[in-house]
Structure 1
Amino acid sequence: MPILPVDVQHSAATYRTEQLPDGRLGLRVSLADVHGITTEIAERTAAEAPYSDIPDFWTRARPTHPIAERLARIGALDTLAPDTHPPRAAPADRRAPPPAPHHGDPHWPDGGVADRRTPGSARAARAAPAERRSRTAPRADFSAAPVAGSAHC
């Protein structure tokens, strides 16, 4: 069963099944799953649908500005203005690429040591050159200096 995204034209305040053009059933994600949306706004948005365009949606659904922005970001308003932006990539295409390997890279914080631990780990610190281990300025040696108010002054 395909999962259908949030869409202000089709989503309800709760999850529901929807028949697809090919006859299969799909599960439509609810408006209530939008972060920060109240039950009142979700129910009003579903009850007032369908909308002719974004100003019509704004006038009749009366969402808060953050909720309207969030709906736009997740693509829930795409059917209201289909020609205003490029088509969205499939969810699998939006994943971040894997991080590049750093082993042997002298610019990596662990000095290029092939260490699978995080760069700030104790093992990475021991493997780093001594001048990079110290994060504080060298301390002055005051052991031979006289102490004010002592008998040696």
Structure 2
Amino acid sequence: MTQTPHGSPPVPARPPRTAQLRLLLRLTLLSLGVNVADTVVQALTGPLTLLPGMEDVLRVPWIPGGGPAAVLALYGVVLTTALYALVWFPLREQMQWGWILGLVFCCLAVLGDVVDLAVLLLGGDVLPALSTAALVAVNVLWLVVAGRPGVRAALR
């Protein structure tokens, strides 16, 4: 291995960013947006069952309505955004571990959302079921695109 003029080892060249990787990055952001929308729809339309006394604990005066569903939705959106960031930033830098983490998170999300979709359909909740179905569709598309050879070729 040759040394650079400053005595440090050379930095390996990054593979070119492929069209499939750019599509995967866009799908990651789309999935985040659909996930946030699904959370809002379910918070506004879905029933919320809490243990007795928990409503007072989860009431926040600065949230409109201050209801527990709004507080839990806000916490869910913050946590979800952090998990998407754990995937999106490494993918943007073309790091393979971000792709692997994305596959794991996406598979778990699809499994959980399919169960959620079945429960919503059995309960007759049409609007939350539609938003969850959209989320499942985007995440399945993410998995399909993530498996393309052009994505793996762009990772180091």
Query: Does the pair score TM above 0.5?
Result: no
Question: What TM-score does the superposition give when structure 1 sets the normalisation length?
Answer: 0.22
Larger relative helix fraction: 2
Query: Higher Cα Rg: structure 1 or 2?
Result: 1
> Comparing both chains, which one has the higher relative contact order based on Cα–Cα distances under 8 Å and sequence gaps of 6 or more?
2
Question: What TM-score does the superposition give when structure 2 sets the normalisation length?
Answer: 0.22
Larger relative strand fraction: 1
